[in-house]
Structure 1
Amino acid sequence: MKEISALIGPPRWYHVVVCLLTFVRAFPSSWTQLAALFVAADVEHWCSRPNDPPFANWTEQRWKAEAIPVVNGSQLSAVGPKHESCRMFPANIISDNTSIVLLDQSRTVSCDAWSYNDTIPGSSAVPEWDLVCQHQWQRSMMTSVVFVGSLVGSLVMGHMSDRFGRRTVFFISVFGAALFGSLGAVSPSVKWYNTLRFFASVNIAGIQTSSAALLAEILDPRFRTFLNIGYTAGFAIPSMLLPGVAYLLSDWKLLQLLTGLIALACVPFMLVVQESPRWLITAGREEQAARAISKILKMNRRTVPNLKYAVQVIAERIRESSTSAIGPVEILRHRMIRRNTFLLFVVWFCDNFLMFALTLGAVDIEGSHLVNFAVSTAAEIPAAFLGLAIVYYCPRRPSQVATLLLAGIAAAAIELTPAGSPYVSLSLSMAGRFVLILSASVKWVWTMELFPTAARGFGFAACFTVGRLGGIVAPFMSVIKKQASVYVAAGLLAAAALVGAGAAVLLPETRGIELPDTFDEAEDVAKERGKRGEMELTTKRHPEEEAGDVDCRRI
């Protein structure tokens, strides 16, 4: 539906507002995904001393020195010995009426109560809910439950976006994310907290999928790189600010409250943002589409004569198409679209797995977890702006393949870096996240270009959902390293990069093409993989070419 881009024209004030909205929505999105790293930050802990005599009279220092074993090799550390977190020497009291205690230092036992180091500034839910030792998996679950919610929300909200509209679903999701995210601050238990985070992430998925379609469907192909401003730099900047916010608040409940309330920053945009004209026309709502385009043109200070007639002509072309059904099932009826959807699933899964493995692993690097996370995230900001140029000038396929392979090398190298090399690990983390932001820049736009308007919301949401499966697995990489081996972890990360790059090789090149509106048009795009060069892919001329005979394919 090239004519929609022609009617709206090149990016002006309305496009800036929508682009700003995609940036603002990144705050609740990124903070919801990453808040658990600081809400449940690790706290030094050890088995607590019994309250019974004679231990009740012992100081904490004496208890640690005599009853808590020292980690092998830590005696020689410059910062002093490190005590075991989950084991203790069993104690036998010789007599009930004496303080004589025999500690069996030939063996250790686990414990079910812990003491915590409360001298370190900051607040964490870990001491409140005892999320340590045999309960430590619940900390990983705090992050994984967000991706489970995103998985469910992407499918549900993506389908709702195709059925009820991008704008409607977006703002419903904004209020839902604010409500459930804020309630997480008063959770009485970790189960309630995870339940509320699940529903918050369902709505975050609605924000993600609907806003992506809302912006993509008003942009000319040449300006589709604007997607990257909100979806790469937009994610990186809030993520980099999060450690500072956590430090300033120094209270996990306030941090969780702010994570929910920040979604309300999107509400003022309700006064300006219109429903996607592409979606309105595809849904048969020509009059509403004409009104939406008219408001957009007014804000952009442009006029189009006979606007209603132009919209009717576009709508008639859609009705004449052999395939204009709306719904996710239609994707399965077209062989090439079905094939490309599966390949996109693989790319999204591998890309997200690598991204969140590196992101979550940044807090495990030796040193301050707040500083390490912020520094590692800072690498994403220049990458986001470089991604604009890559999407604008470079073909999709080689860009996606190269960035995934480079990310795999960096991720595997981190696991194989010996202990005591925090600067090497941090540098590799920055490099890996840098190229993964470039990968995401390509991935978001490429996905939008492969699905027709009638199913773009659901198609993007389905890819987003499968990507969240990678996010569900990523938090448990730390468990794999401890229970299996760093070599196993490195192998999994390298394999993910290879598989994702292999899937990208098989996808069709789409740089410079018009967004397909019907399933027939999407099938035509999908069949172009065998043709050489991007020049052969671009079978339609851009509005600028028709107006001024400018060859946009040479840009």
Structure 2
Amino acid sequence: MARENNFKVELQTQPSSKILNQHETAPRHNSWSLNMLLRRLRATEGKKDDKFSNILDAVGEFGTFQRRLVALTFIPNVLSAVFMFADLFMFTAQKPYCNASWILAVGPNLSEAEQLNLTLPRAPNGSFLTCLMYLPVAWDLASIIQYGLNHTESCHDGWIYPETKQRSLINEFDLVCGKETSTETVQTMFMAGLLIGSLIFGFISDRLGRYPTILLSLLGLIVFGFGTAFVNSFHQYLFFRFAVSQALVGYSISSTSLATEWLVGDHRAHAIILEHCFFAVGVMFLTGLAYSLPHWRMLFLLGGAPVFSFIFYIWILPESPRWLMMKGKVEEAKQVLCYAAGVNKKTIPLSLLDKLQLPGKKMDKASVLDFYNNRHLRKVTLVMGCVWFTVGYSYFTLSFKLKDFGVNIYFRQVIPSIMEVPARLCCIFLLEQMGRKWSLIATLFQGTMMCLLILIIPSELKSALVLMVVFGEFSMAASVTVFFIYTAELLPTVLRATGLGLVSLAWAAGAISSLVLISQNLTLLPVFLCLTSAILALSLCSLLPETQDQPLSDSLESYPLQFRNTGEDTMSDDTLYDDAAEEVVKNTILNASVMKLDTDILPSSSQPTEADRKDD
């Protein structure tokens, strides 16, 4: 509020005619500044009708309560990264040999090398065959050494891994010799869980609230994340990974909705950006654990143990007041707001609290069918879903592209994670200077150029290709962050979590498509599809309205009007003023807005006299 008041005072110090003359003589690039000025004026007018923005200003825009809320959403993101990417370190290369311990019955003092030499056939190059063994015989050791064994069969007593020092899923459940399972297959199952969880938890969050959905998601992390360390079979492992992925997407949707509805302005964007930075830190933490721990179960035990500390969220996590209002729980919303103001050592005027009334259309009348019935909501959701599919597909395709260049698994995770932190922090500057839509277009365009360079650079220039892939991941990480913020602001409160679930479904579908194509060992097709889909996403982004400095839409009743007004603002912001008459019109609007601001904030006793005007 203080910043807006200062802005108004600055406008008052300049006569309207002076503003008009200055702008008429300004160069063409000054039209961008005028656009920003007009946007801020419209935002100031729109904010007057947003009761929650006024109340949150009284609560404190970013006081102790909001900082505590943001910190509470940061911590689980570190563990979310551990649970999400743990599969990448579960399938370390193994060299199995048939278990031929039967020979110990006749030669108990044989070393492991002697056992292998007597019981395993050799390949033409002299190495032991991994999936065959000699048929056991009832001979003594001297006869076996003298005559040797000739008849072979497949392994029937399991396998041993004498050259392996690390315990992984492969040697834990003997995923060898016809039972092989790739990382891509397991991650496809994981993404299928994300896909289903997006629908389930988005609906639950809008029905039951952000607070219970977050608690349910954290319970899922405890049971299915930490509990993965105790599975007894590979099928159980797949089920637990399928279940924990649903808890992860449930937490992501609900925590984003909660932060969006509690914070205002730039604080909202900064909180989500930092939340994603902590996710990248979690990937680095996971990589360090995987490198230092020799057993896959220890990875889940040590990496997942901190999840038990989230039990105290039951007592300190707040509910969203916007969601409470849309649900018709006015008194509970007032209590939560008063508690937040008390933590910030602020007082909410009773006149503001009294303005909170039951919404015209309760939340129980909003359903997932509104994404089809509401024309504006349907258009936005379809466009967002297409862009989310592209971002999910491109992000995973570039992540797995490093595998083709023979980059070590640990470097494949650490280097992009280190790059993602500055990528996400750069979004702060982009969002402040360019707005949501143009920031998304800029990051997608950079990712598109990286995909194009990957296609045209010769395969012999391996270092250059690796660099392009890393910068492509840099761009896509920034796109993910911008679009998460953008999507949460575009959707109304009554269906915000459900909408985030639907677009997360599209993101998971893109990731699954990427994994399927990668498993086919195709070289250029996945990257070519990255390029074409990114170009399509760029064209679709132009259809979305700008949301920067715009009040959040709460109900479906106000959503079509808000969408239409925002769309008109976006068109005016995106149009260059090539005609001088158009500039005069815009300046007329500006001057009228300045005069209106004068009458709004200055008491009648402080109005300038006629003599003062003549002096000016």
Partner of 2:34: none
Deviation at 1:190, TM superposition (A): 1.3
- C-alpha contact (below 8 Å) 1:286/1:312 kept by paired residues: no
Q: CA deviation at 1:138?
A: 5.0
C-alpha deviation, 1:88, in angstroms: 9.0
Give the Cα separation in 2 of the matches to 1:204 and 1:261.
16
* Cα distance in 2 for residues equivalent to 1:412 and 1:480: 21
Q: Distance in 2 between matches of 1:120 and 1:33?
A: 25
5 Å matches for 1:237-276?
237-276=281-320
Q: What RMSD over aligned residues (CA atoms) do the two structures have, in Å?
A: 4.0
Q: Is 1:314 paired with 2:363?
A: no
Q: Distance in 1 between matches of 2:452 and 2:120?
A: 37
SS of the counterpart of 2:356? helix
How far apart in 2 are the matches of 1:165 and 1:100?
69
2:75 maps to 24
Spell out, residue by residue over 1:325-355, the C-alpha distance to the aligned partner (whole angstroms, 9 max, x if none): 3322222211121011011111111111222
1:434 counterpart (461, 474, 479): 474
Question: Structure 1 CA distance, aligned partners of 2:128 and 2:397?
Answer: 26
Matched, 1:8 2:56: yes
TM-score (norm 2): 0.74
Match of 1:75 in 2: none
Query: Identical aligned pairs, as a percentage?
Result: 22
| Structure 1 position 508, deviation (Å) | 2.0
Q: The residue matched to 1:486 in structure 2 has which SS? A: coil
1:208 equivalent in alignment to 2:289 = no
1:494 to 527, 531, 534: 531
- 1:46–1:114 contact (8 Å) kept in structure 2: no
- 1:411, 1:13 → 2: CA distance? 43
Deviations 1:12-54 (A, max 9, x none): 211111211221121232122100001x23314367597899x
Once residues 200 and 476 of structure 1 are traced to their aligned partners in structure 2, the CA distance between those partners, rounded to angstroms, is 21
Q: How does 1:123-272 map to 2 (within 5 A)?
A: 123-132=167-176, 134-272=178-316
Aligned 8 A contact 1:324 1:518 in 2: no
Deviates more, 1:374-383 or 1:352-361: 352-361
Partner of 1:393: 433
**2-side partners of 1:64 and 1:417: how far apart?**
47
TM superposition score normalised by structure 1:
0.81
1:279: which partner in 2?
A: 323
AA aligned to 2:422 is P
Q: 1:366 aligns with which of 372, 392, 406?
A: 406
| CA distance 1:312–1:370, change in 2 (3 Å) | same
Which piece of structure 1 moves more, 251-260 or 332-341? 251-260
Name 1:552's counterpart in structure 2: none
Alignment partner, residue 80 of structure 1: none
Deviations 1:125-155 (A, max 9, x none): 1222233575444532322222222222221
| 1:480 CA displacement | 2.1
Q: Partner residue of 2:148?
A: 99
The CA deviation string for residues 74-133 of structure 1, in whole angstroms up to 9 with x for no partner, is: xxxxxxxxx999899999xxx999438699xxxxx9999997765465331122223357
Max Rg structure: 2
Number of the residue aligned with 1:519: 556
Q: Which residue of 2 aligns with 1:74?
A: none
CA distance in structure 1 between the aligned counterparts of 2:413 and 2:499, rounded to whole angstroms = 32
- 2:53 alignment partner AA: S
Give the Cα–Cα distance (whole angstroms) in 2 for the partners of residues 144 and 414 of structure 1. Answer: 25
Q: Structure 2 vs 1, CA of residues 520 and 262 (structure 1 numbering), >3 Å: closer, same or farther?
A: same
CA contact (8 A) 1:46 1:84 kept: no
Aligned residue in 1 for 2:442: 402
SS at match of 2:550: coil
Closer, same or farther: CA 230–23 of 1 in aligned 2, 3 Å: farther
Paired with 2:96 and 2:465, the residues of 1 have a C-alpha distance of 28
| Shift in CA distance, 297/419, structure 1 to aligned 2, threshold 3 Å | same
Q: Secondary structure at the match of 1:514?
A: coil
Quote the Cα distance in structure 2 between the aligned partners of 1:47 and 1:495: 46
SS at structure 1 position matched to 2:438: helix
**Counterpart Cα distance in 2 of 1:336 and 1:474:** 30
Deviations, residues 257-276 of structure 1 (Å, cap 9, x unaligned)? 34443333433344333110
Equivalent pairs counted in the alignment come to 517
Q: Where do residues 340-355 of structure 1 align in structure 2 (5 Å cutoff)? A: 340-355=380-395
Unaligned regions of 5+ residues in structure 1, if any?
A: 71-82, 104-108, 550-555
Quote the residue 2:95 is aligned against: 45
Alpha-carbon distance in structure 2 between the residues aligned to 1:339 and 1:196: 36
Query: Could you tell me whether the CA contact under 8 Å between 1:155 and 1:465 is conserved in 2?
Result: yes
